[in-house]
Amino acid sequence: MSWGALGRFLLMAVGLALGGLLLRLLGAAPGTEWVDLYIRDQGILGESLYLIIGAAALAAGVPRQAVAFLGGYAFGTVMGVGLALLAQILGCAMAFFWAGAVGRGWAERRLAGRFGPQLRPIVALLRDNPFGATLALRLLPVGNNLALNLLAGMSAIPAAAFLGASLLGYVPQTVIFALLGKGVRVDGVWQLALSGVLLAASIGLGVWLMRRHRAGRAVGGQASFKGP
């Protein structure tokens, strides 16, 4: 990774922490009103409602970071991370299996048609190393969670590898945004600062894994064309 790219990542992390601090100082955070009414301090009912709504929202395309943020806001860092991860993997599985059941034929036609040049590289990465490629993609803060779930489901990659790597890859950003949620609700400047540091580390690890995976594929591809 270049120094310029690292600098941009760190700037993003600092901006994220400062944005969370500003929200806390203003006393407002998006989506927290309904959490205050129906989720927080409601015991098992609130936790169950959070899981059901969170999983359904994620399966429909709501950003996973928002669900983690609200989990941290409602339940604190530790329980918020645990419940957010459970909601995220449930939503991921719902979209993955739905796409595999109804969209595989559509995907094959698009891969063979005009959308092929855009989709084929990602599908090739996933099929070549489902766990490693999925983990790298999940660690990066770019891309669309729902789009990856649907593409993976339509690409017929092993469910266990995809879901396992997704769960592991969800952890850093889930912790980050749960810390942000907790920091907005209470006087938690250190949570906001720590979330920025963790974001930078997560991005760096994701970029390293992706570059390592692509380098391995390139070496393997060259080796496969060598004669005896």
| 122-155 confidence digits (pLDDT tens) | 888 888 889 988 988 888 766 678 888 988 988 8
Backbone angles phi, psi at 94, to 5 degrees: -60, -50
Q: Are residues 90 and 56 in contact, defined by beta-carbon separation less than 8 angstroms?
A: no
pLDDT exceeds 80 at position 72 = yes
Tell whether 77 is covered by a domain.
yes
Q: What pLDDT is stored for residue 151 in this prediction?
A: 86
Tell whether 178 is covered by a domain.
yes
Q: What pLDDT is stored for residue 160 in this prediction?
A: 96
**Cα-based distances in Å from 162 to 4, 158, 165:** 32, 6, 5
Tens of pLDDT, residue by residue over 4-57, are 555 554 555 555 555 555 544 444 455 567 788 888 889 999 999 999 999 998
Tell whether 134 is covered by a domain.
yes
Tell whether 220 is covered by a domain.
no
Tell whether 47 is covered by a domain.
yes
Q: Are residues 78 and 171 in contact, defined by beta-carbon separation less than 8 angstroms?
A: no
**Cα-based distances in Å from 209 to 117, 131, 132, 133, 191:** 23, 11, 8, 8, 27
Residue 216: pLDDT band with limits 50, 70, 90: low
Domain containing residue 22: 12-212
Q: Are residues 63 and 69 in contact, defined by beta-carbon separation less than 8 angstroms?
A: no
What is the count of structural domains for the chain? 1
pLDDT exceeds 50 at position 198 = yes
- Supply the pTM of this predicted model: 0.70
What is the rounded average pLDDT of the residues 202-225? 54
DSSP letters, 185-228, are: HTT-HHHHHHHHHHHHHHHHHHHHHHHHHHHHHHHHHHHHT---
Q: How many CB atoms lie within 10 A of CB 106?
A: 12
Q: Are residues 38 and 46 in contact, defined by beta-carbon separation less than 8 angstroms?
A: yes
Find the distance separating the first CA and the last CA of the chain, reported in whole Å.
36
Tell whether 3 is covered by a domain.
no
Q: What pLDDT is stored for residue 167 in this prediction?
A: 95
Tell whether 227 is covered by a domain.
no
Q: What pLDDT is stored for residue 52 in this prediction?
A: 93
Tell whether 4 is covered by a domain.
no
What is the rounded average pLDDT of the residues 82-103? 91
